Amino acid sequence: MMDMSVLIADDHPLFREALKDVVQEAFGRDIRLIECTSLAEVQAAIGDDTLELALLDLNMPGMHGLNGIALLRQAAPVVPLVVVSADERSEVVSAALQLGVCGFIPKSTPRQQMADAVRRIAEDGEIYQPAQLAGHDTNSPLPLPLTTEQLAMRDRISSLTRQERCVLDAIVAGKPNKIVAHELNIAESTVKAHVSAILRKLEVSSRTQAVIKAGPLLTSQPGG
């Protein structure tokens, strides 16, 4: 992947070096790396047109945890943001995903697994979350009554075609486009077209928002 830049933001030099190794293992040595040690440095660098991924610690100077993520999401709405943090609490992971990050990777993750997660986020559009949170509370009933927003989203889900619904189910399950294409026996470009149609019909701006807003409603929605 030539001419691709990846931003690595962490105030600990040793962990920045570890993340550089992760990125190089994920993509190869043609990646241009941008290193930052504070929120201010990230804000100055995040407008780079070649930037295709940003790996961010929550505890750098100026970040104030998720407040910094919210600011960066507003400043760079199309750059995939990935939190790499030692804080693995499920409520922190969920809050980060609600802010629109494309992944949350615990710092305790083995390097090879971390590299695989980074590659899947960047190349396959997967939304990555820790294994211990994936599927968390999926069998819990929805609180009743549904809110007005949930009722509206349920109607939007009903407007999806059968194949779009299958793709949405796969997105919520965290499956990358190439796996969805293989399972549905369709081209990966067709999957991407379906994803675009799904986001439009659900009136959301990203896969992450589709997971957050539609995911909890899928267990009560028939396919088709």
Provide the CATH number for the domain formed by 148-220 in this structure: 1.10.10.10
Domain ranges of the chain: 5-124, 148-220
pLDDT in tens, 106-157: 988 888 999 999 988 888 888 888 766 554 443 333 344 567 887 888 889 9
pLDDT (0 to 100) of residue 148: 80
Of residues 51 and 135, more confidently modeled = 51
Q: Which of the 8 DSSP states describes residue 217?
A: G
pLDDT (0 to 100) of residue 195: 93
pLDDT (0 to 100) of residue 214: 82
DSSP string of 80-100, one letter each residue? PEEEEES---HHHHHHHHHTT
Domain 5-124 is in which class?
alpha beta
Same fold flag, 5-124 and 148-220? no
Residues 6+ apart with CB under 8 A from 220: 142, 154
pLDDT in tens, 80-99: 999 999 888 888 888 888 88
pLDDT in tens, 9-36: 999 999 999 999 999 999 876 788 999 9
- Flag whether the pTM goes above 0.85: no
